[in-house]
Amino acid sequence: MNRLWVRLSLMISGVLFFMFFMQFLSITFDRSEPVPELGAPSPMNAPPAEIQGRLIEFMLFSVVVGTVGGMVIGRVISAPISKLAIAAQRIGKGELDIRVPERGSQEIIELGQAFNRMAADLQQAEIIRTNLMADVSHELRTPLTVLEGNLRAALDKVVPIDEAEVANLYSQTRHLIRLVNDLHQLAQAESGHLPLEMVPVDLKMLIIETLQALEPLATERGIVLSNEMPALPEISADPMRIRQVLFNLLSNALRHTPDGGKITISGKSYESNILLSIRDTGEGLSPDQLAAVFDRFYRVDKSRSRETGGTGLGLAIVKAIVEAHGGKVDAYSAGKGQGCEFLVQLPVNRS
C-alpha cells in the first residue's frame, strides 16, 4: 500500500504528458503555413529547438503535477486503508475492541462498516467462548470433585464402598455424561451440523406421547397437564428432536410450577406455520430472566440446580433445535408469580 502513490504519480504524469503533447501538436499545426500544392499545414515550419523545448517543459510539468497529485491522492486513498490494516493486525493480536472510523468515499465507508461488523462479531464470539469455557469448567468441577473426594475416601478406607456409595458415584457419572452429551448436541446445532431426519410428523401425537411420559410426575405433585391441541397439519421435522423440544419445555414447566398448579399446551395453524404454546401457573420470570432464559447454563433458581439434576442446557438446546428446523422460540411472562408461556413456531414444510 505504501507504493500506491508511485503508481498514481506515473499514471497522472502519463495522462498529463499525453494531453499536453496532443495539445502541442494541435498548436503546431495551427501555427504552420499552408502548402499551396497540398492545401494542408506542415508541422515542419516550427523550429526543432522550439518543439524540443516545449516537449521538455511539458514533460517536467507533467512529472511535477503527477508526482504531487499522486502523493496527495495516494495519501487520501491509502490513509483509511492503512488504518484498516493496522486495526486488522491489532485484532489478530487479540485486541477485539478495535474499531475504525467510517468516513471517506462510499466504498471506503462500506469497507469500514463491514470491518467493524466483523470485529464486533469476533468480540461477541470471544465473549461467548470465554463464558462457555468458564461455565463448562464450573459445571464439570462439582461432579468431578465429588467423584474424586468419594473415591479418595474409599481408597483411604474412610468410608466403605457400599451400595449407597456406588449409587452416589453412579449418579455423578451420569450427570457428567448428560452434560457432555448436551454440550455436544448444542455445539452441533449451533454450528448447523445437527443431523436431522426430516419426515412427516403428527405434532399432536408427539405431544400426547410426551404428556403420557410426564403424567406420573405431574400426578405425584397434583399438577394438571391440560392438552388443548386441535387437529393440525403434519409438519416436516425430525420426530426425535421435536420430542426432545417438547420434553424439555414441559419438564421445565413442571420444575417451576408449584404443587397443585396447571400446565396447558395448545396450538394453532396459520399461513404455513404451526404455533405451539406451553403455559404454566408457576413462578414467572422477570424481564432480566426473560432476556437470559435461553442462555447456556442459565438457571432461574440456582439454589435448586443440583436437586433437580439439570445441566442448565435444556432451553438452550430447545432454541438450537427449533432454529435448526427453521423455526423460532420465545418466552413471555407478566412477571414474578404470574406464570410463564413459551411459544414455539415451526414451519409446516421446511424449505
- Same-domain pairing of 45 and 165: no
Q: Which CATH number covers residue 246? A: 3.30.565.10
Q: Which of 166, 190, 214 is the C-terminal boundary of a domain?
A: 190
Alpha-carbon Rg for the chain, nearest whole angstrom, is 37
In a domain, 154, yes or no: yes
Could you tell me which residue, 48 or 121, shows the higher pLDDT? 121
| CATH number of the domain enclosing 166 | 1.10.287
How far apart (Å, rounded) are the C-alpha atoms in residues 59 and 205? 87
In terms of domains, do 91 and 144 share one? no
pLDDT, tens only, 292-315: 888 777 666 554 444 444 567 788
Q: Give the start-end residues of each E strand in 127-249.
A: 199-201, 224-228, 235-237
91 belongs to a structural domain? yes
User: What's the whole-number average pLDDT of the chain?
Assistant: 77
Residues 42 and 89 in one domain: yes
Q: Is the pLDDT of residue 67 over 70?
A: no
Query: DSSP string spanning 65-107?
Result: HHHHHHHHHHHHHHHHHHHHHHHHHHHHTT-TT------SSHH
Decide if 213 contacts 345 (C-beta within 8 A): no
For residue 128, give every residue at least 6 positions away whose Cβ sits within 8 Å of its Cβ, in sequence order, or none: none
Residue 109 inside a domain? The answer is no
Residues 76 and 8 in one domain: yes
In the chain, how many domains are there? Answer: 3
Q: Which range is least confidently modeled, 40-44, 282-286, 326-330?
A: 40-44
Give the model's pLDDT for residue 306: 46
The pLDDT tens digits for 252-278 are 898 888 888 999 999 888 878 899 999
User: Residue 322: phi, psi to the nearest 5?
Assistant: -60, -45
Higher pLDDT, 274 or 100: 274
Is residue 276 situated within a structural domain? yes
DSSP letter at 341 equals E
pLDDT of residue 290: 81
pTM: 0.60
Question: 72 with 21, same domain?
Answer: yes
64 is in which domain, residue-wise?
A: 4-95
**Residue 246 pLDDT:** 92
What is the rounded CA–CA span in Å between residue 122 and residue 9? Answer: 38
Residue 244 CA to residue 182 CA, distance in Å, equals 12
Among 49-63, 93-107, 139-153, the minimum mean pLDDT is found in 49-63
Average pLDDT of 90-109? 78
**Other beta carbons within 10 Å of 148:** 11
Task: Characterize 59-74 residue by residue with b for buried, 16 or more Cβ atoms within 10 angstroms of its Cβ, and e for exposed.
Answer: eeebbebbbebbeebb
Cα distances (angstroms) measured from residue 209 to each of 213, 222, 241, 242, 318: 6, 20, 14, 12, 18
Helix axes 239-255, 314-324, angle to 10 degrees: 150
- Whole-Å CA distances, 53 to 49, 58, 64, 216, 326: 6, 9, 17, 106, 76
**Mean pLDDT throughout 202-224?**
89
CB of 242 within 8 A of CB of 234?
A: no
Cell numbers linked to 92? 489478530
pLDDT of residue 136: 72
SS3 275: strand
